[in-house]
Structure 1
């Protein structure tokens, strides 16, 4: 790894207990002696490696150890100066807890937010929906002077509006996931709390 970091512009995800610079970014569990971090800090220093800036909650692992809950900043992204010169706006984004005791990390090389082009995705379950069928017929027949492309655009907009008003299950699912993430990120477990 020493050779790799000095000869290539590299980024590495370190996923081990030894990959911590210090025990400060941990709550719960047995405290590790300060001396256990010396070798890793020396490695980072000798290879000119440093942590990439991050967003969101960086406590990336949650695990139950015997009778106590441990949260720690285990997963990180590092790079060297040459790599940083190539990608000055690189960031790591910690996602929510989902189906694992680890938060997933997405590392982006360009942190500028790009305006996303929203795609229209037709939900096939709407084929049998009589309200949608009627809505499309009305728009198509009242827009007789419009081009086919304009009619399609109007139908898409109407279907999107209909879906936003009547299909709130996705919003409920997102809220439930947010509640779950908040519960999993809490310092103390609350087995009696209900999510939702």
Structure 2
């Protein structure tokens, strides 16, 4: 068994998780039954990158003591509007602070608590808008800069100036730091150290957390299983 664990570690395989019953194997004895989760689906970082929304289902069966596994490569519907999240990489841009100050200095109606809540909500909307218009997409900008760098390298190799190449290298390094901050925050790896750019690792961790937090459906007060997003919101509100 230890040799099998060593192979998993050496290949970088990680558990894909599951939906359904907690156990995949059982054995009946005269006075008790043994339950275990023996069957698992695993994958490496490269596979996670290709299929980040994968779900593994434990299916019911009566002809075997092992449950079959159904691997759905596109099992998560994440089209719902995502809640606002402050991105750590925004703090490296001067426009972030200016956007927050502009919102916070505005007046408002209601008592102090209501004004604070309204300003926080408006601040999130303003930051989201600022990020889309001023911050731009980090990965898209990285791709564009790398293409320009490849062209600049050819110019230098032909005897041209090296100034543009040096400028692009610095800009790419800044974008790589921002990308590492983004994935590090989404993965919630608290022991992330400054300068670590292992974005493939953080991408896989963020994908695992996304699958873990994903809610496929909820039972309503009558015990009915509901998967409609609007109805799920109503069930949550009714519960609280």
TM > 0.5: no
Which structure dedicates a bigger proportion of its chain to strand? 1
Q: Give the number of the structure with larger relative contact order, counting CA–CA contacts within 8 Å between residues 6 or more apart.
A: 1
TM-score by length of 2: 0.30
TM-score by length of 1: 0.36
Which structure dedicates a bigger proportion of its chain to helix? 2
